Amino acid sequence: MLMPDLHLLVRPLFGLALASCLALPGVAQGNDAWTQLLETYVHESTDGVNRVDYATLSASPADRATLDTYIASFEARDLTGTDDVTFAAWANLYNAVTVRYIAEKYPLDSIRDGFLFGGPWKKVTVMAGGREVSLDAIEHDILRPRFGDPRVHYAINCASYGCPNLLTRAWTANTLDADLDAAARAYINHPRGVTVGNRGLTVSSIYKWFEVDFGGSKDGVIKHLLQYAEPALAENIRATPKIRGYTYDWSLNDTRTDPAK
């Protein structure tokens, strides 16, 4: 067996490490800007639904400029990877572009306002990784097929009450796995995700639209729900493990609708 030429191995590894070190500060600074915006405008409500103060963001030229700069930073980035850094980048971009779209159109009652069918996801585009992509493409052509992780549905937010929460901070690679699990638990253990009735479960329409991502069957969805359900909910699911209906609320996740106000 031939021993590898060590200097041939070390040189490319050193180059990759150096490139990573050079790239990370820019990524970190961008995430800091996005986190600051999220901390400012996303409010955690007592009912477990995070809501966004779109009105104030819409009225702030400075913060909208910060958001534009953050989104523009993705234009020349290498987004071809399959690692956690790339997953986090695409999820952050999707959420930032969605927030910008709502801020630009505000006031409105739903992201689907103005559309007879569907919504704006194919029409809203952004330059990222050297090419133009739509919100629809980020979700269905990049995140879902490339990463093959059902938790992608807890990572991206469509500005709706029925959607998993928009976090108060950016997704980052070093905490991605734990944060995705936490987001899944938060959604599944909230009535938006699962409610238990006498005859079975009513679950989010996400689990119908994207059943293929959750095992390809209702049984696969049940298995996924049990993976993140708290003990009391898990016991109730096991007692009535049948999906009887689906629900989804497209109303805007706006602070105007916060019951605490």
| pLDDT above 50: residue 254 | yes
Average pLDDT for 78-104? 98
Q: Which residue has the higher pLDDT, 169 or 9?
A: 169
Across 19-39, average pLDDT: 70
Q: Residue range 105-120: average pLDDT?
A: 96
Instruction: Give the Cα separation of 208 and 247 in Å (integer).
Output: 10
> pLDDT tens digits for 238-250?
999 999 999 999 9
Residue 218 has pLDDT above 80, yes or no: yes
Mean pLDDT, range 35-39, rounded to an integer: 98
Give kind and range of the element (H or E) at residue 202: strand 201-204
Q: How far apart are CA 53 and CA 90, in angstroms?
A: 23
| Spatial separation of the C-alpha atoms in residues 70 and 38, rounded to whole Å | 12
pLDDT at 28: 66
Closest CA to 52 of 158, 134, 159: 159
**pTM for this model (two decimals):** 0.89
Span 220-229, mean pLDDT?
A: 98
Q: How confident is the model at residue 51 (pLDDT cuts 50, 70, 90)?
A: very high
Reduced to 3 states, what is the DSSP secondary structure of residue 131?
A: strand
Structure tokens given for 205: 């329409």
In this structure, are residues 208 and 246 in contact, taking their beta carbons and an 8 Å threshold? Answer: yes
Residue 29's pLDDT is what? 67
Which letter does DSSP use for residue 255 in this model?
G
Residue 26 has pLDDT above 70, yes or no: no
* pLDDT value of residue 1: 36
pLDDT for res 59: 98
Identify whether the C-beta of residue 50 lies closer than 8 Å to the C-beta of residue 44: yes
Dist CA 18 CA 41 (whole Å): 36
- Looking at residue 81, its pLDDT comes to 98
pLDDT at 258: 85
46: pLDDT strictly greater than 80 = yes
Tell me what percent of the residues of the chain surpass a pLDDT of 90: 86
Domain boundaries of the chain, sorted by first residue:
24-174, 189-252
- Residue 6, pLDDT score: 34
Please give the mean pLDDT across all residues of the chain: 91
Residue 195 backbone class (left: φ over 0; alpha: ψ -120 to 50; beta: rest): beta
